[in-house]
Amino acid sequence: MIAYGFVRAVDRAVLFGAAIALVAMMLQVSADVIAKLAFNAPLPLPSALVTEYYMVAVAFLPLAAGEYRQAHIHVDIFVQRLPGSRPRTNSPTMRS
Amino acid sequence: MEQSIRLTLWPAYFFLPLGLGLMAALIALKLVCRVLGKPEPEPVALIALRVLIGVTLIAVSYAGIAAIGGHSAAWGILQVVPYSFISNWTLSSVPMFLLMGFVCYHCGLTRGLFDAARVWLSRLPGGLAIAAVFGCTGFAAVTGSRVACAAAMGKIAVPEMVRHKYDIRLATGTLGLLLAIGPACRRVSSMKTTSRWRTVRSASWCSGPVNHGSSIAAIGEIRNTRPKPGATLEPANLLEFLKPRLPAYMRPRYIEKRAPNRGGLVPVAGDFLRHVLPQGRGCLEIEPLAEGRAHFLEDVQNSLGFHPFRDHLFVQAFRDIA
C-alpha cells in the first residue's frame, strides 16, 4: 500500500535526522573538550546547542520510529489473556 | 559568553509536536487499518488495552491539570515540561552512553571484556552478573546518572549474559537492582556537606559497597540454587576459585586428525580426556601453541579492524530501518 511506503519513508527520514543530531552532538562535545584543554580556546555555545537543539531532536524525533517498531513500553498482561491473541514472538531485550 | 548569545528556539520547539504528531498519526493509521479490515504492518492487539504507558501518563496528567486549572494551563504545561526536562546538559550523557555502548557492542569490545571477566570470575557462581555489578559501579561512579548507567549497561551486559546462557530474568533483574540502588548513594553524597550532613555522607560512603556486596551475594545465592559441579562456594574447592579458566575461544584449539566419529564418547568426555586417550581413529590433536597464538591474534585483528565493525554496524542499522 502507498500508506505503508509513506510511513516507512517518514520513519527513515526521522531516524536519519535523529542520527545526524546524535553524531553532531558527539562531534561538538569532543571538539569543545579538545579545544578547551589543548588550545585553551573553548568553542562558543556548545552547551546551548547541545541542550536546546540536539537533545530535543534526539529525544523527540524518534518517538514515531519507536511506535513503528513497537518499542515503547506497554502492558499486555490483559491482552495476552484475551481469546485469539497471538503470543509475542520477540521480546525487546532479545532484540539487542 | 554563552549567555550573551540567544538562540532562536522555534526549531527546537518544532521537534516535540513533530514527534508526538507522527506517533499519533501512526496510531491512527493502525486503528483505521483495523477498522477497515486491511492487513496491518504488525500484529496489533487491542490498542485500547495496551495503550503506551507514556501516552497514558501524559493523558491522565493533562486531564487532571485541565480539570483544576483549565485547558490553557494544561496546554502550557504540556508545552513547557517535556521540553525543559529534555533540554538538559546532564541528561545529554544518556544518548552519548547509549552510542558508546552501541559502538562497543558492535566492535566486540564488550565481548572481550566479558570474556576476560568470565575468566577471572568463572569459579564464582554467577560470575558474569557480578562482573556486571562491578561495571555498573564504575559507570555510576563516573556518570552519577542512574538512567545512563542502566541504559549503557543494559546495552552492554544483557546481551553478553544472554550469550552465556544466563537466564534473562537474572540478567535484567541484576540491572534493575542496580538501577534501584546503585547510584542512589552517590546522589546522597553529592548533597551539600554541612556538618549536619556529614553523617549522611559517611553513611552513603558505606552504603555503596554494602549495597553492591549484598547484591553480589544475592546473585551468588540465586546461582547456587542450581549448582553445577565444581561451581559451589565450599571451602573444599576454594582453591579452585582462584585459578582462572580460559573461555572456549582462548583455549588451545583441537583440530581433527582423521574421521571425527567416535560415538558417544566425544561430547561426554571433554577435551582433556580426548587428548589423553590412546591415539586412534578420530582422535583429536592439540594445536601447537604458536598456531593457537596466531589464531588468537587473528581474532583480535578481526575484531579491531574497521571493516568488520563497519559491516556489523551497517547490517544492524539496515535491520533496524527495514
Q: Which of A16, A30, A21, A14 is nearest to A56 (CA)?
A: A21
Residue from A67, A68, A70, A75 whose CB has the most chain B CBs within 10 Å, to mutate? A67
pLDDT at B1 over 50: no
Averaged pLDDT, B242-262: 45
Residues B106-115 have a mean pLDDT of 68
Least Cα distance to A49 among A25, A30, A72, A71 occurs for A25
CA B184/CA B178 separation, integer angstroms: 9
Alpha helices in chain B, H assignment, sequence order: 10-36, 53-69, 71-86, 93-107, 109-121, 127-143, 146-163, 168-181, 184-189, 198-224, 238-242, 265-269, 271-276, 289-304, 306-321
Q: Give contacts of A 34-63 with B, CB under 8 A.
A: 44-45, 47-63
Q: By CB neighbour count within 10 A (0-12 exposed, 13-18 middle, 19+ buried), where does A38 fall?
A: exposed
B50: nearest CB among A63, A66, A79:
A79
Q: From the centroid of its chain, how far is CA B34?
A: 36
What does the block give as the cell for A33? 573538550
- pLDDT value at residue A50: 81
Most B CBs within 10 Å, among A51, A54, A69, A80, to test the B interface: A51
Query: Would you place residue B283 in the very low, low, confident or very high pLDDT band (cuts 50, 70, 90)?
Result: very low
Cβ atoms < 10 Å from Cβ of B28: 10
Question: Does the pLDDT of residue A22 top 60, yes or no?
Answer: yes
Instruction: Compute φ and ψ for B250, nearest 5 degrees.
Output: -95, -15
Q: In which band, very low, low, confident or very high, does the pLDDT at A66 lie, cut at 50, 70 and 90? A: confident
- Residue B53 has a pLDDT of 66
Q: Give the pLDDT confidence score for residue B281 in this predicted structure.
A: 37
Q: Which residues contact B237 (CB under 8 A, 6 or more apart)?
A: B123, B230
pLDDT band per the 50, 70, 90 thresholds, residue B156: confident
Closest by Cβ to A63, choosing from B7, B22, B43: B22
Using a CB-CB cut-off of 8 Å, the residues of chain B touching A52 are 7, 9, 12, 87
Q: Which residues pair with B256 in a beta bridge?
A: B284
Residue to substitute from B23, B36, B80, B99, interface A, most A β-carbons within 10 A: B23
Q: Report how many Cβ contacts below 8 Å link chain A to chain B.
A: 135
Please classify residue B197 by burial: count the beta carbons closer than 10 Å to its beta carbon, then call 0-12 exposed, 13-18 middle and 19+ buried: middle
Q: Look at B116-120, B154-158, B228-232, B282-286 and tell me which has the smallest mean pLDDT.
A: B282-286
Indicate if the alpha-carbon torsion angle A13, A18, A21, A22 is positive or negative: negative
C-beta atoms of B172 and A93 within 8 A: yes
**DSSP H or E run through B286:** strand B284-286
From residue A72, give the alpha-carbon distance in Å to each of A63, A69, B81. Answer: 8, 8, 20
Q: What is the mean pLDDT of residues A79-92?
A: 54
Q: How many CB atoms lie within 10 A of CB B155?
A: 19
Bridge partners, residue B212, by sequence: none
Phi and psi torsions of B285, nearest 5°: -115, 140
pLDDT digits (tens, 9 = 90+) for A33-62: 888 888 887 777 767 778 888 888 888 888
Output phi, psi for B123, to 5 deg: -80, -15
Give the mean model confidence (pLDDT) for residues B241-270. Answer: 43
B-chain residue closest to A51, CA distance: B87
